[in-house]
Amino acid sequence: MTQFYASTPAIGLCLYDRKRLDPLTLDGALRTHPTALTADACCDVNPFFESLDLFCQRFDARERFEWKLGRLCAVVEDRGASTFRLSPATAR
């Protein structure tokens, strides 16, 4: 579907109910959607999006974590460190 939407003027919206779906299913959804919405925000570039080729590969937990950490670092570098600034309440 990602390839379809990238090549057409159509818009799709997938809805996932966090109360009804297990974390593994929700993680799979996050991994396969280039844009992610929450109740409060839109992340137009989902740092956890994986291309179909990457999604289908098997990684152990350490390799997957290293990949995710690299993606977060790329977002920070791209948008500036203030993107992930902690609020005063969180920093305690």
User: What residue ranges do the domains of the chain occupy?
Assistant: 2-82
CA atoms within 13 Å, Cβ hemisphere of 88:
0
Asked if pLDDT for residue 85 goes beyond 70, the answer is no
- Within the chain, residue ranges assigned H as helices are 2-6, 23-31, 52-56, 61-79, 88-91
Q: What is the mean pLDDT of the chain?
A: 77
More confident residue, 72 or 21: 21
For residue range 32-65, list pLDDT tens digits in order: 888 888 877 788 888 888 877 677 777 777 887 8
Residue reference for tokens 């997957």: 64
Q: Contact at 8 Å (CB) between 64 and 48?
A: no
Q: With cut-offs at 50, 70 and 90, classify the pLDDT of residue 19.
A: very high
Sign of the alpha-carbon dihedral angle for 22, 23, 24, 29 = positive
